[in-house]
Amino acid sequence: MQNKIGVIIAAAGKGTRMGSEVPKQFMSISGIPMIAKTYKAFAKSQLVDKIFIVTNEEYMETCKDLVMSCTSFDERKKMGAIIQGGDSRQDSVYRGLKAIKNLDNSFTHVLVHDGARPFVSEDVINRTISRTIETGAAVACVKPKDTIRTRERTLDRGQLLHVQTPQGFDIGLLIESYEKATINRLEGTDDASLVEALGYRVAIVEGDYGNYKVTTPEDIPKTMGVGHGYDVHRLVEGRRLILGGVNIPHEKGLLGHSDADVLTHALMDALLGGSNMGDIGKLFPDTDIKYKDISSMELLRNVGLKLSRKGVTISNVDITVMAQRPKISGYIEAMKKNIAAALGIFPYQVNIKGTTTEKLGFVGREEGIAAEAVCLLNL
Ligand code: CTP
Ligand code: MG
């Protein structure tokens, strides 16, 4: 008989330990929803025939949409069904198993995997499937890196394993194990333990340290965001020249609705851009009387607050001011201090440099001053 492999992705948990707004399986991880990333890992394997996702009742539609919108045509072809989960992982997987059996009786083996393990590799998947076909039951494990002890004594690390998923089984064996566990009111935190309770030996397959379960906020890989901003203001008589919050003596100043601090405006746009929050035009419209002649340092403080409310921190910012005159080098330290204070960062995280444009263009003709800024953000 030819082997037919079904995969159950258990994704019906609440993610209590993560403490996020949506259950962790729907959070974005490296730019893609965790559940879609997990699905794609299995869809890629040549050995996998169909994938069934068990998820929370109220997220069944969302789950389907997320997976459908993040997958290729070939990956989508492997979608089996979205199945409503239960109160415990065991309950959810059992519901998945029963649904598969009802939908299609021809599966020979089933792999169970946590939706919260999006980093599973194709190698681990294929190794587990091969061993499952050979032995009827196989589980991916890794050796602990830390010494493990009970409160009373240190355990022999050589004897211990961290249990991961996927865990693969002959489908009949797994169904029988779940039936028996239900009758005997046996609760296990994984599938292999239920199979072993029947007296069946489960083979150990080499897992992968990268295949960890995303459980608490530290488990979410950090991502960076790069931001870029550009601004120009016209130089006119009768206005003060303010750059980086410093009033620079000059015969002309910059024209604008606010104090026209072009350097700070470019910086704000970089910060808003890098954190995907639009731009200053959207945030502080110049049609709003509230912002007339307002200090750009105040606006910058506001942008800094918006970033920190989103949990975004600043790694560094780098700003270039293009001005034919005046020379700004003598004011840079004061500007760095102002900007760092407004953003709640250190002056060494702020770099400012000035350049002329060799008398070329509008900057060279001293008609205006331009500024560009880039920043690196921890999202
Ligand atoms: N799971 C499930 N159904 C449940 C509980 C858990 O399908 N009723 C799934 C989770 O979605 C997860 C996997 O089982 O992919 C492993 O569980 P765990 O890491 O404990 O996830 P949660 O139960 O969601 O998290 P927590 O225990 O912190 O609430
Ligand atoms: Mg749990």
Do the Cβ atoms of 8 and 81 come closer than 8 Å?
no
107 alpha carbon to ligand 2 midpoint, in Å? 28
In whole angstroms, what is the distance from residue 235 CA to residue 267 CA? 19
**Ligand approaching nearest to the C-alpha of 23:** 1
How far, in Å, from the CA of 47 to the mean position of ligand 2?
Answer: 29
Does residue 371 come out as left (phi exceeding 0), alpha (psi in the -120 to 50 range) or beta? beta
Q: In angstroms, rounded to a whole number, what is the distance separating the alpha carbons of residues 13 and 114?
A: 10
DSSP for residue 329: G
Q: List per-residue pLDDT tens for the chain, 379 residues long.
A: 799 999 999 999 999 999 988 999 999 887 789 999 999 999 999 999 999 999 999 999 999 999 999 999 999 999 999 999 999 999 999 999 999 999 999 999 999 999 999 999 999 999 999 999 999 999 999 999 999 999 999 999 999 999 999 999 999 999 999 999 999 999 998 999 999 999 999 999 999 999 999 999 999 988 899 999 999 999 999 999 999 999 999 999 999 988 999 999 999 999 999 999 999 999 888 888 888 878 999 999 999 999 988 888 999 999 999 999 999 999 999 999 999 999 999 999 999 999 999 999 999 999 999 999 999 999 8
DSSP H helical segments within 46-138, as ranges? 60-69, 73-76, 89-103, 122-135
Which residues are registered as beta bridge partners of 316? 376
Helix (H) or strand (E) holding 78: none
Residue type, 332: I
- Centroid of chain to Cα 34: 8
Pairing of strands 50-55, 79-84: parallel
- Residue 379's pLDDT is what? 84
What pLDDT sits at residue 314? 96
Site residues for ligand 1, CB cut-off 6 Å? 10-17, 23, 25, 54, 85-89, 92, 114-116, 213, 215
Specify whether the CB–CB gap between 179 and 232 falls below 8 A.
no
Tokens found for residue 340: 């760092």
User: Interior CA angle at 84 toward 101 and 189, to 5°?
Assistant: 80
Q: Residues within 5 Å of ion ligand 2 by Cβ?
A: 13
From the CB of residue 320, how many other CB atoms can be counted at a distance below 10 Å? 17
Q: Are 167 and 138 in contact (CB under 8 A)?
A: yes
Tell me the CA–centroid distance for residue 357 and ligand 1, in Å. Answer: 59
Q: What are phi and psi of 272, to 5 degrees?
A: -70, -40
**CA 3 / ligand 2 centre spacing (Å):** 32
Model pLDDT, residue 85: 98
